[in-house]
């Protein structure tokens, strides 16, 4: 039984209408709006005023609703995005402009951004970019890099924004097909779907990096605690209490059984009524902890007497990777110059604004799970094993995803709510707090890298030896992928005939490291691209020209012996940077000369770096399937199961399908991912969706088109149009009609249908890492201009120029958004982001870039068509981040003369390096 309610009445005006409800003493306005008044367009990202996602207007002023106690709103006017877009002219202009600029990617920050922008436009009808930057400085976005948001707000003020093209063909910068829901507050994210009276689950987590634990009397605890229905422990897992993503490395328990292996690991869960759980104090849970010596970090885990995390892996070594060709040692001995160094990188948190949330219930003997995920079919497979059920009894129906960047590939909260629903027989929901999300979900692998690279006097690369150790944390997650992928990529996109790269993934008592944009390649690129600058300097060569000289070209083998006959666009990317490189260098020279003359501490520096990334799984099957159908009424339905996590898959894949079919993209009806109704689009990871699912969409479009053309014996060049229930085929001056009503519908109601699969052609790597790991690579080169304060050690990015070879830009508007967002994450990794368990577990101690950190980005699109990509297109998602951090480090060195070999290069790190170099 719940205790009698202590709720107090409260009344205010909500979006122009009277609202009356109750609230507890100290209840957050955000909670009241969402849970009592069903105003779920108000998003919660941190509950601490750090992210601004919950921004609403109170008497016209923007406030974080999570920081306002509900009684403070009594008698006042509260406005949220959903209300504003219905009537407020500024909000309506913002909604148009945000769509025109694709300023909403995942969309979870969009309500907070737009509400804050409404307040600005009311105060300053035509703000400058600097004014927008300042006004939005308290609202975080992890996807966009802010520049498109700033442009959108400026244009909304002016009342003019780019008009969409009248074609939706491949190459057209159309608006996102799913953009309207995101700018109107209608998008349903993972915490928006459960009814308010659903049972709530909360998790008991280890406060120690390693600890044994004992539970007290759980039955008595449940019986004696008001409103608590049950608890869950490992004993409640009916199937296998393990999950993971790589066969042979399935090692993470849903609940720890005898020992917690990292701070934040789940050991039990409590389920109760929403009212009871709002007041529940986890300190009352009957558990006794026994802290144990922990292996925190790679060195500690490899020490002779280190605790063994997993008995079946000797010495805490999870796995190793190797690629070698030629003879690196001999080549390095014969080199005219060599550069070498040791580099370290830290845990990096994904920092999506939407913490994990999920809702599960039983339906006709099956479990239905709603959550944000990047891999619905993989989730279903894992959930079936955990429950001990047949897969057919598991339905994953994803919600919109408020940012993923790799971490939402793994299961996290889903098994908990599902086990809760099975045990109670009732629907169960859960939402991680920001701290829980940061403590318990995967991170970017911290790395320790040692590299030696040589070159001949003419600037030709001559030998490279690379060794990387990667901290995979307590469980494997995507660690094996990182260990395999890094040696393939550590050369960078350059011609190297003598090469040896070894990687080791090491278990530690840290949070599991997993997938995060680049799978270890951003870490290796920092080392390799930094040493390239040192080699160029030793040779007296220009750093950009040194790279152009060594850039891989079509017909040359990669370090894996793979030869691409076309589509190797790295040289073109680097060459495209030449004008900006010259301008920026000249600007820096003039700036620094003046600074030295005036004895001021600021210096300007310019750095360049390149990167490449193989799209899709490494040497493994990687299929996607796309289904489409035509109904008798003429509607064209696309079953698009490739998760759109903000990057734009819904739009890009529809554009490819429409191009292949030969009908306008706006005639497509999209059915999103749901394991019951969409075939497997594979996981959204490894920059594979445009390439792999895009090809499946192309094949489906072509197959549907062929069926139509055959029906009227028309040629390949025929034009198609749909007029109600008729298809009009125009061919060689003749017009044919197909009356769809005369065709028999199938079980799905389709009179014509296609379902096609694409799997990239790869081959396994041999014992030396030789083979065909990927069917395609994408290429990138970034130029960074930064200002360094020699007195303070602070670094401020001033400008980026980013050249990307995408083969074919399916939608250039979305390309720009991806590039800008990736650069913002690369900037964070380079300068500020470091996850430290127990110390940076929230968004005020863990810093991610804000509007003020992100300078303008000039995006240069290179199109060197890929032989396998749909219409020549290549993936982009990971590539956008890889060159950013090394370009920044090279720019810091250019500005200050100091080389930084660890990230993040925080002011204290830079200042220490400056002091060591003699700057007082």
- Cα-Cα-Cα-Cα dihedral sign, residues 254, 256, 261, 262: positive
Interacting residue with ligand FES among 84, 108, 765, 854 (CB under 6 A): 108
Cα separations in angstroms, 564 against 569, 687, 775: 11, 19, 9
Stretches 106-114, 299-307, 587-595, 611-619: which one binds ligand FES (CB under 6 A)? 106-114
Binding window for ligand FES (CB under 6 A); candidates: 107-115, 190-198, 665-673, 722-730: 107-115
CB neighbours of 546 closer than 8 A, spacing ≥ 6? 455, 459, 532, 535, 536, 539
Least distance to ligand FES, CB of residue 648, Å: 11
Distance in Å, CB of 352 to ligand FES, minimum: 7
Half-sphere exposure of 394 (CA within 13 A, CB side): 22
What whole-number distance in Å separates Cα of residue 570 and Cα of residue 894? 23
- Is 107 a residue that touches ligand FES (CB under 6 A)? yes
Taking CB under 6 A as the criterion, the residue among 144, 481, 618, 808 binding ligand FES is 144
Site for ligand FES contains 722 (CB under 6 A): no
Start-to-end Cα distance in the chain:
67
Binding mask 566-595 for ligand FES (x = CB under 6 A): ------------------------------
Binding region for ligand FES (CB under 6 A) out of 138-146, 500-508, 570-578, 758-766: 138-146
User: Shortest approach of ligand FES to residue 150 CB, angstroms?
Assistant: 13
The answer to whether the CB of 156 falls within 8 A of the CB of 61 is no
Return the number of the residue (136 or 515) whose C-beta is nearest ligand FES: 136
Binding part of the chain for ligand FES, among 104-112, 227-235, 754-762, 875-883 by CB under 6 A, reads: 104-112
Query: Is 117 among the residues that bind ligand FES (CB under 6 A)?
Result: no
Query: Shortest distance, CB of residue 32 to ligand FES, whole angstroms?
Result: 24
Could you tell me the smallest distance in angstroms from the CB atom of residue 108 to ligand FES? 5
645 touching ligand FES, by CB under 6 A = no
Binding segment for ligand FES (CB under 6 A), chosen from 101-109, 337-345, 662-670, 883-891, is 101-109
- Local structure of residue 871 (DSSP, 8 states): G
How far lies 558's CA from each of 179, 222, 494, 565, 807, in Å?
Answer: 40, 61, 8, 12, 19
Q: Which of 143, 260, 892, 903 binds ligand FES (CB under 6 A)?
A: 143
Nearer to ligand FES, 572 or 815 (CB): 815
State the nearest-atom distance from the C-beta of 52 to ligand FES, in Å.
Answer: 11
Beta bridge partners of 212: 259, 290
Phi then psi for residue 57, to 5 deg, are -95, 130
Q: Compute the least distance from the CB of residue 645 to ligand FES, in Å.
A: 9
Residue (101 or 547) nearer to ligand FES, CB: 101
- Binds ligand FES by CB under 6 A, chosen from 10, 63, 85, 104: 104
Three-class SS state of 240: coil
The token pair that represents 597 in the structure block? 């003359």
Instruction: Name which of 108 and 211 has its Cβ closer to ligand FES.
Output: 108
Residue count at the site for ligand FES (CB under 6 A)? 13
Nearest-CA neighbor of 298 among 345, 340, 251? 345
Of the candidate spans 105-113, 223-231, 366-374, 823-831, the one that interacts with ligand FES by CB under 6 A turns out to be 105-113
CB 395 within 8 A of CB 233: no
CB of 325 to ligand FES, least distance (A): 41
Binding of ligand FES by 109 (CB under 6 A): yes
Q: What DSSP letter does each residue of 696-750 carry, written as one string?
A: HHHHHHHHHHHHHHHHTT--TT-EEEEETTEEEEEETTEEEEEEGGGSPP-TTSE
- What's the min distance (Å) between Cβ of 45 and ligand FES? 8
Beta carbons within 10 angstroms of residue 853's beta carbon:
19
How many CA atoms lie within 13 Å of 511's alpha carbon, on the beta-carbon side?
Answer: 32
- Short-list 37, 35, 67, CA closest to 53: 67
Closest separation between CB of residue 146 and ligand FES, Å?
A: 9
| Piece of 139-147, 733-741, 758-766, 846-854 that binds ligand FES (CB under 6 A) | 139-147
Give the separation between CA 650 and CA 687, rounded to whole angstroms. Answer: 14
Instruction: Give the interface segment with ligand FES, choosing from 99-107, 310-318, 364-372, 524-532 (CB under 6 A).
Output: 99-107
Decide whether 189 or 466 has the Cβ nearer to ligand FES. Answer: 189
CB nearer ligand FES, residue 105 or residue 550: 105
Q: Which is nearer to ligand FES, 109 or 416 (CB)?
A: 109
Cα(916)–Cα(59) distance, integer angstroms: 54
Torsion, CA 341, CA 511, CA 377, CA 317, rounded to 10: 60
Whole-angstrom distance, CA of residue 156 vs CA of residue 546: 44
CB of 45 or CB of 512, closer to ligand FES: 45
Q: How far is the CB of 413 from ligand FES (least distance, A)?
A: 19
> What long-range pairs does 389-394 form, CB within 8 A, spacing at least 24?
389/239, 392/366, 393/365, 393/366, 393/367, 394/366, 394/367, 394/369, 394/675
Rg of the Cα atoms in the chain: 28
Shortest Cβ 825–ligand FES spacing (Å): 11
Span 316-375, contacts to ligand FES by CB under 6 A: 353
Of 135-143, 183-191, 454-462, 597-605, the segment contacting ligand FES by CB under 6 A is 135-143
Contact 663, 702 (CB under 8 A): no
**Closest distance of CB 575 from ligand FES, Å:** 32
The smaller minimum CB distance to ligand FES, of residues 64 and 668, is found at: 64
Residue 848 dihedral angles phi and psi, to the nearest 5° = -115, 160
> 3-state class of 513 per DSSP?
strand
To ligand FES, the closest distance from the beta carbon of 105 in angstroms equals 4
Closest to ligand FES by CB, 146 or 779: 146
Q: Does 102 contact ligand FES by CB under 6 A? A: no
Candidates 142-150, 197-205, 524-532, 661-669; binding stretch for ligand FES (CB under 6 A): 142-150
DSSP 243: B
Cα–Cα distance measured from residue 201 to residue 418, given in angstroms and rounded to the nearest whole number: 11
Stretch that binds ligand FES, among 125-133, 141-149, 367-375, 505-513 (CB under 6 A): 141-149
- Report d(CA 203, CA 265) in Å as an integer: 9
CB of 182 to ligand FES, least distance (A): 8
Q: How far apart are CA 412 and CA 442, in angstroms?
A: 9
By beta-carbon proximity to ligand FES, the closer residue of 81 and 104 is 104
Residue among 272, 646, 773, 872 that touches ligand FES (CB under 6 A): 646
Lay out the site mask for ligand FES across 395-434 (x = CB under 6 A, - = otherwise): --------x-------------------------------
CA dihedral 891, 895, 899, 900 (to 10 degrees): -70
Closer to ligand FES by CB, 136 or 913: give it: 136
Q: For the CB of residue 421, give the shortest distance to ligand FES in the complex, in Å.
A: 29
Mapped onto helix, strand or coil, the DSSP state of residue 114 is: helix
Determine contact, residues 575/544, Cβ cutoff 8 Å: no
Rounded to a whole number of angstroms, the minimum distance from the CB of residue 153 to ligand FES is: 14
Does residue number 172 form part of the binding site for ligand FES (CB under 6 A)?
A: no
d(CA 591, CA 289): 59
Query: Could you tell me which residues come within 8 angstroms of residue 456 by beta carbon, excluding any fewer than 6 positions away?
Result: 335, 336, 462
Residues at the site binding ligand FES, with contacts judged by CB under 6 A: 104-109, 141-144, 353, 403, 646
């Amino acid at each position: 039984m719940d205790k009698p309610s202590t709720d107090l009445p409260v009344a205010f005006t909500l979006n122009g209408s009277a609202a009356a409800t109750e609230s507890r003493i100290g209840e957050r306005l955000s909670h009241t709006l969402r849970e009592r008044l069903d105003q779920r367009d108000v998003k919660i990202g941190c509950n601490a005023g750090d992210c601004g996602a919950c921004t609403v207007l109170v008497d016209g002023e923007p406030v974080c609703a999570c920081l306002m106690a509900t009684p403070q709103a009594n008698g006042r006017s509260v406005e949220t995005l959903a209300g504003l877009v219905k009537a407020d002219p500024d909000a309506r202009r913002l909604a148009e402009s945000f769509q025109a600029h694709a300023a909403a990617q995942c969309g979870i920050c969009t309500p907070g951004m737009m509400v804050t922008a409404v307040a600005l436009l009311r105060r300053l009808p035509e703000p400058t970019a600097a004014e927008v930057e300042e006004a939005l400085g308290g609202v975080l976005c992890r996807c966009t890099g802010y520049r498109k948001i700033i442009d959108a707000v400026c244009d909304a003020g002016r009342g003019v924004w780019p008009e969409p093209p009248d074609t939706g063909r491949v190459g057209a910068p159309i608006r996102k097909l799913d953009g309207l829901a995101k700018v109107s507050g209608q998008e349903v994210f993972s915490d928006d779907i459960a009814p308010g009276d659903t049972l709530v689950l909360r998790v008991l987590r280890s406060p120690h990096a390693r600890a044994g634990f004992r539970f007290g009397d759980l039955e008595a605890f449940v019986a004696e605690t008001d409103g608590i229905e049950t608890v869950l422990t490992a004993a409640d897992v009916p199937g296998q209490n393990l999950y993971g993503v790589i066969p042979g490395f399935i090692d993470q328990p849903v609940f720890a059984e005898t020992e917690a292996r990292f701070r934040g690991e789940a050991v039990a869960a409590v389920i109760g009524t929403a009212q009871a759980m709002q007041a529940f104090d986890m300190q009352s849970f009957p558990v006794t902890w026994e802290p144990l010596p922990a292996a925190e970090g790679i060195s500690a885990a490899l020490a002779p007497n280190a605790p063994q995390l997993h008995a079946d892996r000797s010495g805490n070594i999870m796995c190793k990777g190797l690629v070698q060709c030629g003879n690196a040692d001999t080549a390095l001995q014969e080199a005219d110059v060599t550069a070498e160094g040791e580099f370290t990188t830290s845990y990096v948190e994904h920092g999506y604004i939407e913490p994990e949330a999920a809702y599960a219930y039983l339906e006709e003997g099956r479990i239905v799970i709603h959550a944000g995920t990047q891999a619905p079919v993989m989730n279903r497979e894992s959930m079936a094993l955990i429950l001990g059920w047949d897969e057919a009894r598991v339905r994953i129906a994803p919600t919109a995803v408020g940012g993923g960047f790799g971490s939402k590939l793994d299961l996290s909260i889903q098994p908990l709510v599902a086990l809760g629903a099975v045990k109670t027989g009732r629907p169960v929901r859960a939402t991680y707090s920001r701290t829980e999300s940061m403590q318990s979900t995967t991170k970017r692998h911290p790395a320790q890298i040692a590299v030696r690279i040589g070159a001949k006097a003419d600037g030709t690369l001559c030998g490279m030896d690379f060794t990387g150790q990667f901290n995979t944390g307590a469980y494997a997650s995507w660690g094996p992928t990182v260990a395999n992928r890094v040696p393939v990529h550590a050369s960078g996109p350059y011609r190297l005939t003598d090469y040896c790269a070894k990687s080791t993934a090491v278990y530690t008592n840290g949070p599991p490291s997993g997938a995060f944009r680049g799978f270890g390649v951003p870490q290796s690129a920092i080392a390799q691209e930094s040493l390239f600058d040192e080699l160029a300097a030793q040779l007296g060569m220009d750093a950009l020209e040194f790279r152009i000289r060594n850039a891989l070209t079509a017909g040359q083998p990669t370090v894996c012996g793979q030869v691409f006959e076309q589509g190797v666009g790295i040289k073109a990317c680097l060459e495209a940077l030449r004008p900006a490189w010259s301008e920026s260098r000249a600007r820096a020279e003039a700036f620094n000369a003046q600074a030295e003359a005036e004895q001021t501490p600021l210096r300007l520096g310019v750095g360049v770096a390149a990167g490449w990334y193989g799209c899709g799984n490494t040497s493994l099957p990687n299929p996607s399937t796309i289904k489409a159908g035509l109904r008798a009424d003429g509607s064209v339905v696309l079953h698009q199961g490739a998760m759109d996590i903000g990057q734009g898959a819904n739009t890009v894949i529809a554009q490819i399908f429409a191009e292949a079919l030969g009908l306008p993209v706006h005639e497509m009806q999209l059915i999103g991912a749901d394991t019951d109704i969409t075939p497997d689009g594979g996981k959204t990871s490894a920059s594979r969706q445009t390439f792999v699912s895009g090809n499946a969409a192309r094949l489906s479009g072509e197959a549907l088109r062929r069926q139509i053309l055959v029906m009227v014996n028309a040629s390949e060049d025929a034009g198609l149009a749909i007029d109600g229930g008729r298809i009009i085929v125009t061919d060689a001056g003749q017009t044919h009609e197909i009356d769809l009503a005369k065709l028999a519908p199938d079980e799905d109601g389709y009179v014509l249908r296609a379902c096609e699969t694409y799997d990239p052609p790869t081959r396994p790597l041999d014992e030396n890492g030789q083979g065909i790991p990927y069917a395609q690579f994408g290429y990138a080169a970034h130029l960074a201009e930064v200002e360094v304060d020699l007195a303070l050690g602070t670094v401020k990015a001033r400008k980026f120029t980013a050249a990307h070879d995408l083969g074919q830009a399916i939608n250039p508007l979305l390309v720009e958004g991806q590039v800008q967002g990736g650069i913002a994450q690369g900037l964070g990794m380079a300068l500020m982001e470091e996850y430290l368990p127990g110390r940076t577990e929230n968004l005020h101690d863990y810093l991610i870039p804000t509007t003020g950190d992100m300078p303008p980005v000039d995006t240069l699109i290179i199109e060197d068509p890929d032989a396998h990509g749909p219409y020549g297109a290549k993936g982009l998602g990971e590539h956008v981040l890889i060159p950013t951090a090394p370009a920044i480090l090279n720019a810091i060195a250019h500005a200050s003369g100091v080389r930084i070999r660890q990230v993040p290069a925080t002011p204290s790190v830079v200042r220490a390096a400056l002091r060591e170099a003699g700057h007082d």
